[in-house]
Chains A and B, each alone.
Chain A
Amino acid sequence: MNLAESPKLEDFGHDVWWIILIKVVGIFAFLVVMTLFTIWYERKVVGRMQHRPGPNRVGPIGLLQSLADGLKLAFKEDIMPKLADKAVFFIAPVISTVCAFTAFSIMPLGGMVSIFGERTPLQLTDLPVAVLLVLACGGLGIYGIVLGGWASGSTYPLLGGLRSAAQMISYEVAMGLSIVAVFMTAGSMSTSEIVAAQANGSQQEIFGSTVTLPGWYFLMLLPSFLIYFISAVGETNRAPFDLPEAESELVGGFHTEYSSLKFALFFLAEYINMVTVSALCTTLFLGGWRAPAPITTWWAGANEGWWPLLWFTVKVLILLFVFVWLRGTLPRLRYDQFMRFGWKVLVPINLVWILLVAGVRVAANADNTVRYAIYGGFAVLLVGIIMFWPAKKQVEPASIAPEKLPEGSFPIPPMDLVVPPSPRTKRIEHAAAAPSATPEQGE
C-alpha cells in the first residue's frame, strides 16, 4: 500500500488562505448536502422497510424532497412563545448548529490531493488532539438541546431537554471510554495518524504465536467498535434511544415549541451529528478514507487523488444505513432501561476491555514472569466476575387459580375464562372439517 500519499501531522497548517477558504466552504457544502441526502435516504430506506415507496414526487426519485421541505420551513411562521426566555430561546439552535459543524473540521476525507496546483491534504485540518475536538463539540452541543428545552417555558420541551441532557452525558461516558483502546493501539489522537495506523495489518503476538491482524480496528477492537456505535446512537438521540423526542410521550421533546428556520437548524444539527459520528466511526474503526482490501489488491490507484472521498462517503452511508435500520427495527427503550444499559452494561464492559487490551499489549513485550502474572490477574478477574455475577431473580409464575377477592371489590372476570368461539370461527372450522360440503352460504 502506498503510504506516501498519507498526510502527516506536519502537513497541516501550511495552506494558503484561499485553499483554507475552499476547504471550509467545501466542508460546509458537504455537510449540508449530506444532511439533505440523509433525510431523503432515511425516509426512502425506512419506507422500503415498511413496504412503501417513500418520497418520490419532488425531483428524480424524490431526491429534492428534503430541499423542498427545508425551503418550506423558511416560509413558515416563526413563533416565540409567550413564556419563552427570549435570548436563550434564540441562541439555543445556533449553539447546536455551530457545534455540529465545527466537530467535522478534523475529519480526514482523503490523502494528499492537488487543488489548483497546490498540494494539500484532503482534510480541513488536523491536530494532535483532534478526536478531543469532536468530544468537546459534542459536549457543547448538549447545551443547545437543554437550553432549547428549558427556554421554551413549557412542560414537554423541559422534560425532553432534561432527558436529553442526562442521556447524552451518560452515553458520552461510554463513547469516551470506547475510543481509549483506539488511542492505545494507534498511539495518537490525531485523526490522520489513526487512519495511517490502520493502513497496514499489524504483527501481534497472542499467547506465544505471531499472527498478522488486519489493519482496520473494528476487527481487532470489536467490543470498542460495538460500544462506540451503540453510544453514538444514544449520543445522537436516534431510535431506539430517541427518548428526548419520544412522540408518544413528549410530542416533539425539546423542540416542541420551535418552528420555522429555528426548528430547521435543530434538524440540521441532528443530521450533521449523525454524519459526524458515522464519519468518526469510519475514521477510528473502518480504516478512514482508505479503500477496502479487495479493491486495493486489483487497483493500486484506489487510494490516490480524489478517490478516497468516494470510499469515505460510501463507508459513512453504510453506517447511516445501520442508523436507519435500527430505527426501522427496534422499538423505543423505556428511560430506566436505557439508563441502566448505559451505566450498568456499557461502562463496566468498557473498563474491563480497556484493561484487557492494555494487559495483552504489555504481556506481549514483557518477560515470562510478568506475562504469567498478568494472565493470572485476568484469570482471577474472570473468576471474580463469574462468582459475583448477579443471579437472575426467579420470577414466580402468576397463578390463574381464581382468587378470593374481598367483599365489595370491583367485579372482574375469572382468570380462567374461556371465550366462546365467534360465529365466524365456528363457520370456518365447520368448513375445514367438511371440505366436500357445499360452499358457504351467502350472507
Chain B
Amino acid sequence: MSLSPYVPIVGLFALAAAFALFSVAAAPLTGPRRYNRAKLDAYECGIEPTPQAAGGGKFPVKFYLTAMLFIVFDIEIIFLYPWAVSFNALGLFGFVEMVLFIGTVFVAYAYVWRRGGLDWD
C-alpha cells in the first residue's frame, strides 16, 4: 500500500481548484460593471423584495429528520461495503449476520414509515 496512486487525484484536484478559483476571481474583471440598486436586490419575480429570505433563512424541521435518516442509512451502507467485498470469504456466517443487521435496521425503518416520518405534505 503506497501513496503514489493518490498523487494523480491531488493533481486533478489542484487543476480543478485552480481553474475554478481563477474563474470566480476573473468574473468581476471580465464583465461590465453597471451599478443599479434594483439589480443587487434579492430576486423575487418583480415584486418588492422582502428584506430577508423566507423565514429569515430558516429551514423547516422536517429536513432535520431526513438528514438524520440519511445518517442512519449511510452508516448501514458503510457496513455493507466491506461485507460485500469480502462476501465470498465470509460465507454463510456473514450472510446470517447481515440478515440480522439489515433486519434490525429495517425495524427502525418500518417504525419511521408507520409513524409517517417518510411522508411529505
Physical contact A–B (CB less than 8 Å) = yes
> Which positions in A face B, CB cutoff 8 Å?
12-15, 20-21, 23-25, 27-28, 74-83, 90, 93-94, 97-98, 100-102, 104-106, 124-127, 132-133, 150, 152-159, 162, 165-166, 169-170, 172-173, 176-177, 180-181, 183-184, 187-189, 251, 256-257, 260-262, 264-265, 335-336, 339-340, 343-344, 347-348, 351, 354-355, 358-359, 361-362, 365-366, 370, 374, 377
CB distance from B29 to the nearest CB of A (A): 8
Point out the residues of chain A lying under 8 angstroms from B59, CB to CB. Answer: 162
Which of A81, A154, A188, A344 has the most CB atoms of chain B within a 10 A radius of its CB? A154
Point out the residues of chain A lying under 8 angstroms from B13, CB to CB. Answer: 98, 101-102, 105
A359-B98 Cα distance, complex, nearest whole Å: 11
Q: Which residue of A lies closest to B118 (CB)?
A: A343
Q: Which residue of A lies closest to B113 (CB)?
A: A344
- Contacts A170-B70, A336-B119; A155 near B42 (Cβ below 8 A): yes
Q: Are A78 and B31 in contact (CB under 8 A)?
A: yes
Point out the residues of chain B lying under 8 angstroms from A90, CB to CB. Answer: 24
- Contacts A83-B52, A125-B5, A183-B85; A256 near B12 (Cβ below 8 A): no
A125-B27 Cα distance, complex, nearest whole Å: 32
Q: Are A180 and B24 in contact (CB under 8 A)?
A: no
* Interface mask (B39-73 → A, CB under 8 Å = 1, otherwise 0): 11111110001111110010100010011011001
Point out the residues of chain A lying under 8 angstroms from B27, CB to CB. Answer: 74, 78, 260-262
Q: What count of chain B residues pass the 8 Å CB interface test?
A: 70
Q: Are A265 and B73 in contact (CB under 8 A)?
A: no
- Contacts A81-B40, A355-B102; A336 near B121 (Cβ below 8 A): yes
The main secondary structure of chain A at its interface with chain B is helix
Tally A-B pairs: CB < 8 A. Answer: 222
Which of A24, A80, A347, A354 has the most CB atoms of chain B within a 10 A radius of its CB? A24
Q: Are B87 and A361 in contact (CB under 8 A)?
A: yes
Whether a CB of chain A sits under 8 angstroms from the CB of B111 is: no
Q: Are A172 and B70 in contact (CB under 8 A)?
A: yes
Q: Are B30 and A124 in contact (CB under 8 A)?
A: no
Q: Which residue of B lies closest to A157 (CB)?
A: B53
> Which positions in B face A, CB cutoff 8 Å?
2-9, 11-13, 15-17, 19-21, 23-24, 26-28, 30-34, 39-45, 49-54, 57, 59, 63, 66-67, 69-70, 73-74, 77, 80-81, 84-88, 91-92, 95, 98-99, 102, 106, 109, 113, 118-121
Point out the residues of chain A lying under 8 angstroms from B118, CB to CB. Answer: 339-340, 343-344
Point out the residues of chain A lying under 8 angstroms from B42, CB to CB. Answer: 81-83, 152-155, 257
Point out the residues of chain B lying under 8 angstroms from A125, CB to CB. Answer: 5-9
- Contacts A13-B2, A78-B31, A189-B85; A340 near B43 (Cβ below 8 A): no
Point out the residues of chain A lying under 8 angstroms from B31, CB to CB. Answer: 74-78, 260
Q: List 15 A-B contacts (CB under 8 A).
A: A12-B4, A15-B8, A20-B11, A25-B15, A81-B43, A94-B17, A105-B8, A132-B81, A154-B53, A155-B50, A173-B70, A343-B69, A351-B102, A355-B99, A358-B95
Q: Are B21 and A162 in contact (CB under 8 A)?
A: no
Q: Are B43 and A154 in contact (CB under 8 A)?
A: yes
CB distance from A263 to the nearest CB of B (A): 9
